[in-house]
Amino acid sequence: MNPASCDNQKDWITSADERHRRDLIRYAYSLCQDSAGAEDAVQETFLRLNKERPERINHCLRPWLFRVCRSRVIDAQRKQKRVVLMDHETLSPRRDMNAQDPRREAEIEDTTAHVWEAFAELTPLQAEVLRLKFQSQMSYKEIAEVTGKTVNAVGVHLHAAMINLRARLSHVMDI
């Protein structure tokens, strides 16, 4: 590789890092529930990207990054042989406690708890496709590339997840 190509490779990786690192860390954390583990998985993802040629994967960079990151998390979990439950308080959006009255804050906390309880009842794949769709704002095709499922299977799992959430939350919320 000539020096100009090396600079282009560095620029390509730097650009990918700037655009995708935050989403990858959030995604990795949602899978492993460990900040250090998420950071490690994302770092390994970018190390692997460094070995790739831009023209080979540039057309599908984002799904490729998520797929590699997912694999890194799964590999690490296999090595650790542990299962981590989702902590709804850690994943809840941060709010300024002075911004609303205490009753409204209590309602929000209660609703959030119900949502996370319902979310915990989903299958791991249903939870993952929901995260990819709504948290990472991926298309069905991108989710299929990340999970190794077909686009139709992604649609089925998303639909089933929404039905499950709706059924579990209908008594709590007006849905």
pLDDT digits (tens, 9 = 90+) for 92-119: 454 454 556 777 777 778 877 888 888 8
- With H, G, I as helix, E, B as strand and everything else as coil, classify residue 10: helix
CA angle 16, 67, 24 (to 5 degrees): 50
8 A C-beta contact, residue 43 and residue 82:
no
pTM value is 0.63
Which positions of the chain have pLDDT values less than 50?
1-4, 82-92, 94-95, 97
The set of long-range contacts for 98-107, using a CB threshold of 8 Å and a minimum separation of 24, is: none
Which residue, chain included where needed, has tokens 């999970």?
147
